[in-house]
Chains A and B, each alone.
Chain A
Amino acid sequence: MAKTMSKKQVQIRHSRHNMDYILLTVVLFLIAFGLLMIYSTSSYEAGEKMGDSAFYLKNQLKSTILGFFALAFMIKFPYKYLQKFDLIAVVVSAILLLLVLTPLGVTRNGARRWLDFKIISFQPAEVAKIGVIIYLASIIQKLEGLGKNIIRTPKGVAIVMVPPTIIAGLIYIITRNMSSAIIVMGIAVAMLFVAVPDYKWFFALAAAAGAVVFAVVMYASNADTTGSGFRLARVSAWLNPEAYSTDKAFQTLQALYAIGSGGIWGKGLGQSMQKLGFLPEAQNDMIFSIICEELGFFGAMAIILLFVILIWSCMVIANKAVDRFGSLLVVGVMSHYAIQVILNIAVVTNTIPNTGITLPFISYGGTATLFLLTEIGIVLNVSKSCK
């Protein structure tokens, strides 16, 4: 026992140098670039509405600094201790979500998604994402420890999937935030996919999902959606944005104008026209379109490639992790980033219907940035003990 301990300590000390600095550099660059773009996109509107052109930049800077503390802490904090938080992570996430219904919950921009604890306010949905990752990583690890491949049984799948489903349901029902619910479910499915040694169920699931999507699209493209539900109208607006240019597809079309007017080389940093009120709240979901407009095709591709490196680095760390728990944590974080980046760029380019997902590290959003940095801290922590 003592022997193994000392061996592990040696390994940890030795592996300090193994921390993935490329990943850290990429993240730092994205964060810095994000702050620059937030200032670029928001300064005009902020100056008009808030009387302070750096209003959004300052807010974002505060949560970024807080995020760096979290990042530094998680690099130091041995991730193995997170294993103890499996149920607690889910229960705390659920409680925070339920608190939105109490007077602690506040409404901003027409959506009741925030908790305000006076000294700090945040979106519980963002907490839930990291909560679900920790829960799944540790519960899968624990099921594995029990042997007999319980995870392949319906019971095992239920143990793994029910709590994230409840969390996703709470997010959707309480905060009316479908995109966060999708992300939570996406993370859970991805982690289940890697943990279960089978393929066929997932193929079936993917085929079923594909069929449903196809049916909805066919229905929406033929149906007259005036008066029908808000979600279906979004699909119709996606299929034919110019016909819905004044309402449902307004934002999408404005984003397309921004992307298209960027051309190959872009208009130059700060030169976007679309951010001057044509594309409202350009610093949020649609920030990528302004990046396209200002920095052109090459700038946009540079950002996409940075995300490719980010995801690739996560994959390498996950596959080199010394234990299953660490590996699963990184898979969860990787899926989180991948889902958000892909969905965000797909929405901005009108490849899929509008859902309102932010671009990690770049879009404006305090809570998101704080927890994204916390997650990177965990990944870097895992990377330190990689083989």
Chain B
Amino acid sequence: MTVINSTARRNMTVQKRKTFIICVLSVAALLALGVRVGYLMIFRSEYYSEQAQELHERERDIKAARGRIIDATGTVLADNKTVCTVSVIHSQVKEPEKVIEVLSNKLGLSEEYVRKQVEKRSSRERIKSNVSKEMGDQIRDLDLAGVKVDEDYKRYYPYGELASKVLGFTGGDNQGIIGLEVSYEKYLTGTKGKILTLTDAKGIELDGMGERRREPVAGSDLYVSIDVNIQKYATQLAKQAYETKQARGVSIIVMNVKNGEILAMTDVPEFDLNEPFVLTQEFAGQPETQDTFNQMWRNGCINDTYEPGSTFKIITAAAGLESGAVTLNDNFSCPGFIIVDDRKIRCHKVAGHGAEDFVHAVMNSCNPVFITVGLRIGVDRYYEYFTKFGLRQKTGIDLPGEAGTIMHQPDKIGDVELATISFGQSFQITPIRLMATVAGIINGKGAVTPHFGVKAVNEENGTIEEFVYPLSDPLVSEDTTQKMRYVLEQVVENGGGKNGYVEGFRVGGKTATSQTLPRGTGRYIASFLGFAPADDPQVMALAIIDTPQGTYYGGQIAAPIVRQLFENILPYLKEKHYQ
């Protein structure tokens, strides 16, 4: 018994020690875990809190108001209007039947559609967007549980079609799609605001948990050089010509000769900016593909190139005078054609202009004389001038999609090619490119960068950014500039451009009638480039009629357009002291 007892006592002693060991080890383990908890909760706290916060918060964007587009007269050309988006939050709807009835009545939607949306088990279902603000307010005032009315901005163009291809329009996210809306996106678009709400795991917003809000910042207003009155009048003239001449298109550009500010640009047919995805009557019946829309939105003034024809003789004349290949008094004789290499190139006057000096050759737009001048300049020098005048580059206009020049490679230019280039054929440029270079020749300063954007003004944070546009180095000497002004005024006073004459103003200009490619289809492009005043050019206008029916001479159909335009806008500009 005692042996057992003593063993038992000894074992009991060991047991006590071992129990103590277990206890101490357990306590040590727990304290170690305490340290681990402390590590997680203090040193890793930021990391895990952030991850958790991200998990718990749902973001909702608050759209920022897009900046307006305002013309030179202070008229708003692109504005915003408040519209509402009505949506339902399934889990918060208390009276589904009433909600379905009210929403289908108020929004003019079918009951089945609304029922489907209301009964869909999703966190948030949109019922209708672009609901008018009045209707949105009415629905909000009914205070139906689970029905949310969010205010939103929609782009609105008060003048509809006016300058549609210039202004452009915006898409569903209020982002610019074409035109100035694209090029000035970063100024116009504001900074989105955010509402961060806490939600449970199913994404249901928690009441009373507060929300974090970051206010949106409205975009800057864009001030453009367009003058709504000139734009309206130019558009009206273009439409008139478009209809009476049953043309494929009529473009008119009005530009400040000195700095490249564009006062008006129209390319009829235009489209309604408030309904950019509705095909205009010209495109009616065509499939509603992206391609068709792109055609409809295309701005011929900058997106397309053409053979300028005789208006390009301004460039040949300037290069000839500048290089000394010709003087105003040089005498020529036009038999009605000229032979270059083995090619016989005809003058537009089959009988020929006979003896004439260079001034008269310009007034007559005589092809053989310009070919002769071109050949005198020579291929290399001509190509140099072509390059120096900026004709191989894009103008850098602040509209997207400007087309580049299509020109022969210098080593492919022989005398025949040079001859055709001299009177504006066998290569293609954009109308705006022609204007920018001609402006550089007659303003005596340099080729301008045509543009619309003047400044971006943010009323909210008071910033103003004025845009500056480069002017190239002078293209020609002062002497050449003076001579070109004189010659081109002569064209209007006494030559082929006399239909561009405006009583009481000195107007210079040049007409063009070019056959389109392929030749021999009887399709022509008639154009007239005019500027005023001839002795100190301020404003320049180019009218282009694509494929007119009937009379197709630029001097007869395009020059009168510019005349009518000038008759109206020159007094107006004078009154406004537009210098």
Contact = CB atoms under 8 A, between A and B. Distances in A.
Contacts of A349: 33, 36-37, 40
Contact of A315 (B23, B29, B52, B202): B23
A145 to B, nearest CB: 7
B45 A301 contact: no
Contact of A327 (B19, B44, B52, B198): B19
A263 interface: yes
Given A194-B19, A263-B42, A297-B42, A273 B33 contact: no
A259 B23 contact: no
Contacts of B52: 257-258, 260-261, 273-274, 278
Contacts of A307: 30
Contacts of A44: 200
Interface stretch (B9-17, B180-188, B249-257): B9-17
Interface size, A (range): 35 or more
Interface string A299-316: 011001001100110110
B8 A144 contact: yes
A263 B43 CA distance: 9
Interface in B1-40: 3-4, 7-8, 10-12, 14-16, 18-20, 22-23, 26-27, 29-31, 33-34, 36-38, 40
B41 A263 contact: yes
B427 to A, nearest CB: 62
Nearest to A304: B34
A333 to B, nearest CB: 12
A278 B206 CA distance: 14
Interface in A30-75: 44
A324 B9 CA distance: 9
B344 to A, nearest CB: 81
A167 interface: no
A338 interface: yes
Query: Which of B19, B31, B55, B56 has the most CB atoms of chain A within a 10 A radius of its CB?
Result: B19
Interface centre among B11, B31, B38, B49 (most CB of A within 10 A): B11
A88 B498 CA distance: 126
A194 B15 contact: yes
Contacts of B198: 273
A144 B22 CA distance: 21
Contacts of A195: 11, 15
B48 interface: yes
Interface in A123-168: 144-145, 147, 149
A225 interface: no
Majority DSSP secondary structure for residues of A touching B: helix
Interface in A319-359: 319, 324, 327-328, 331, 334-335, 338, 341-342, 345-346, 349, 351
A277 interface: yes
A304 B33 contact: yes
User: Is chain B's binding surface mostly helix, strand, loop or mixed?
Assistant: helix
A319 B18 CA distance: 10
B49 A259 contact: no
B37 A296 contact: no
Contacts of A345: 30, 33, 37
B201 A301 contact: no
Interface string B159-187: 00000000000000000000000000000
A338 B22 contact: yes
B572 interface: no
A259 B38 CA distance: 10
A197 B30 contact: no
Contacts of A193: 18, 22
Interface string A255-290: 011111111100000000110111000000000000
A4 to B, nearest CB: 15
Most A Cβ at <10 Å: residue of B30, B42, B206: B30
Interface of B: 3-4, 7-8, 10-12, 14-16, 18-20, 22-23, 26-27, 29-31, 33-34, 36-38, 40-42, 44-45, 47-49, 51-53, 55-56, 198, 200-202, 206
16 contacts: A144-B11, A262-B41, A263-B45, A292-B40, A297-B41, A300-B41, A301-B38, A311-B30, A312-B23, A312-B27, A324-B12, A324-B15, A328-B15, A334-B23, A335-B22, A346-B33
Given A278-B201, A351-B36, 12 more contacts: A144-B11, A197-B11, A260-B45, A263-B49, A278-B200, A301-B37, A304-B37, A308-B31, A315-B20, A315-B23, A327-B12, A349-B40
